[in-house]
Structure 1
């Protein structure tokens, strides 16, 4: 997982909406960037997932981002928080189906998702966004949409070899042989985060479990007062 953004305390809501949603004033938008971007979700959680990203890679299902997204959403739900997961692959079947994977379209893809996530955050919903966003300027633009420390970036900094080994669709292989063009980390750059609030790494040569990664994010949110009623 790689980034979170926090919604405001519904300052622009009508009095009736504010009263109804007062308990959610600590809501958080979660945006995840992992070691390799994924093109779709995994982990058996329909409609949700986290895009995996890495400074050297970009493949579906490689770093467990969707599994982590589901684990985080599940944990938050169990604690009484409303959540919604924006999955990059699902969005490209609907909202962003007119966009390609060219640099300019990737920028527009992130811009649209950032705006949608901001709407969820403003409504007091914890929004978990899973996207391919290889360019730092695009991530910074999303951060600027949610000021006052309401955007939290989580970077899953996993080794490239782990991501390639977990490449269930064979996308890395296709990219290495030139059958896929514009593949992040192979023939298109990935700019690593420089100001991530949370960094998830391997421990003793092992990848943390989804629950452990979700707990790391939850601990950050709790310690910084984002999950207060």
Structure 2
């Protein structure tokens, strides 16, 4: 167990820290924007005029990606359903709309398959290593598919520091607390001794609902982001999260 000092907030007796991936550990803004643009263009090629509304729905405006938008925080399935809803507004049936959206997403994946995972935010590797060296269990819980989480970990050679690589494939997605509870169970820890670190409201709401020890909001561009107002504390760079002390387990000695 460790005591973590995050800005002015102290978290005691922490056994595990669970990180979000996109926007937290991984600087994936450019990739997500490019992926949204490719998906929109592929659908627009079949249904002219739908591309721009789709980009707005995904949270892309010009060269910017809304950190609270669908592309940044939604699961792949949620993005597919949103795209299908826009397609259905053109008069197509729901099943046909879902098929068009799914195929466009698959084609976008194919076109971008050679794109390497995005870089880690500066200091990310150091914080993962320091937590692992201190005996803290470290996990990644992302709204991205599990395969993407695994690819990210492998690409950056994070296997020695990460005990859990968890994404959303089917079933519930963030902010459903069951995801955090399942992650804690997989790590063999209780939520009350587990800290959540994420850049989205869904990360924070999920952890609060699961009874986490606390929620550290991450925002690299704003000092007081409104979408993280429920976080226990918000940081803008990794050196604001520090290991203050290591708590050794008590050892009882019987009579000799």
Alignment TM-score, normalising by the size of structure 1? 0.29
Higher helix share: 2
Q: TM-score, normalised by structure 2?
A: 0.27
- Higher relative CO (Cα under 8 Å, sequence separation at least 6) belongs to 1
Larger Rg: 2
